[in-house]
Amino acid sequence: MKILLTGSSGFIGSAVTIALLDRGYEVIGIDNHNDYYDPSIKKARLDRYLSHPAFHHYQEDISSVDVMDSIFNKYKPNKVINLAAQAGVRYSIENPSAYIKSNIIGFFNVIEACKKFSVSHLVYASSSSVYGSNSCLPFSPHHSADHPLNLYAATKKSNELIAHSYSHIFGLPTTGLRFFTVYGPWGRPDMALYKFTKAIYNGEVIEIFNDGNHRRDFTYIDDVVEGILRVLDDPPTHNSNWDSSNPDPATSSAPWRIYNIGNSNSVNLMNYITILERTIGKSAIKKYLNIQNGDIPNTLSDIDDLITKYKFQPRTSVEVGIVNFIEWYKKYHQIS
């Protein structure tokens, strides 16, 4: 089994790479190592498996058609996991062109190569951000998600629509996974848990938006990896019961499917910070600010479809997940 995985040096991508190699698969990893956040952690993630005989690393950009065609032609992967993307909600307001290049053009190059080389299943990262101004909780893939609040979310929704067109016209099985606030060891330095932890250890101020009234469905990295692998093993088929007069946004008459991957438990941000403070053994210096433009106040995932189809439910509590993160953080940053 040959799996091509984009974003292989990223937070989620590196964890999935290790899991695939542990399965005995051959993995072709592509990552451009951009400097959106410190590339040194990407290198450190990569160093854990770079020498593995079944891993092939390409420091390339998926926005290049020639690069993608060359790699697909060389390896002819059986399945593809697309996790490469320009991440970050607020950065999409500052630098929108980066999101079009990576999340639209790059995604198109990936799915076009999947069609051209007859890949049996494309699994790709979407996001809970696509739910946008929808305030009906829990968020369900059977709900409409047509009102994104930022460009990042709009590009992820676009990926889902592009995938559907390819599934419909070419019969390419595609599955989109809407991730809910993924955290854990080897996490991204631009995300709240990492930033808060660094600030607390350094005695710096942490900025708490929306006066701390956010609620988030925090999902531990190991649970996300398990969800990806289960979905990868079982490509979607045509939903023979799909009704075009009452269309279900999560399924299709094409081999196309959308799932949430979340913990199905919404945690208040201030409770999250309290657990972090207790784990570190030090209080944070807090600065409360208004909600930021483009932010969703609350998230909570409906994962009934994931449970029904794959008999899988993320279960790692934030108490356990934060302890694991802090243990890794101290080791990585050599804090006694």
pLDDT by residue (tens digit) across 248-295? 999 999 999 999 999 999 999 999 999 999 999 999 999 999 887 778
**Is the confidence at residue 335, as pLDDT, over 80?**
yes
> Does 148 reside within a domain?
yes
Q: Domain span at residue 117?
A: 2-184+220-264+298-315
pLDDT of the residue at 88:
84
> Does 234 reside within a domain?
yes
**Is the confidence at residue 181, as pLDDT, over 90?**
yes
**Is the confidence at residue 30, as pLDDT, over 90?**
yes
pLDDT of the residue at 106:
98
pLDDT of the residue at 93:
87
| pLDDT-wise least confident of 22-26, 191-195, 209-213, 301-305 | 209-213
> Does 213 reside within a domain?
no
pLDDT of the residue at 153:
95
Closest CA to 114 of 157, 68, 57: 68
Distance CA 267, CA 133 (A): 19
pLDDT tens digit sequence for 193-252? 999 999 999 999 999 988 888 899 999 999 999 999 999 999 999 999 999 999 999 999
Q: What are phi and psi of 298, to 5 degrees?
A: -140, 145
**Is 201 labeled as catalytic in the residue annotation?**
no
With cut-offs at 50, 70 and 90, classify the pLDDT of residue 167.
very high
Share of the chain above pLDDT 90, in %: 91
pLDDT of the residue at 293:
77
> Does 239 reside within a domain?
yes
> Does 283 reside within a domain?
no
> What average pLDDT does range 302-318 have in this prediction?
94
> Does 275 reside within a domain?
no
Distance CA 73, CA 155 (A): 27
> Does 205 reside within a domain?
no
Rounded to the nearest integer, the mean pLDDT of the chain is: 95
> Does 273 reside within a domain?
no
Task: Indicate which CATH number applies to the domain containing 7.
Answer: 3.40.50.720
Task: Give Dmax (Cα) for the chain.
Answer: 62
| pLDDT-wise least confident of 69-73, 145-149, 326-330 | 145-149
> What average pLDDT does range 37-48 have in this prediction?
96
Domains of the chain: total: 1
pLDDT of the residue at 26:
98
pLDDT of the residue at 300:
94
Distance CA 169, CA 165 (A): 6
Distance CA 164, CA 181 (A): 24
Tell me how far apart the terminal alpha carbons of the chain are, to the nearest angstrom: 42
**Is the confidence at residue 332, as pLDDT, over 80?**
yes
Distance CA 19, CA 222 (A): 10
pLDDT of the residue at 123:
98
Two structure tokens written together for 50: 């770079």
Catalytic option among 58, 152, 183, 272? 152
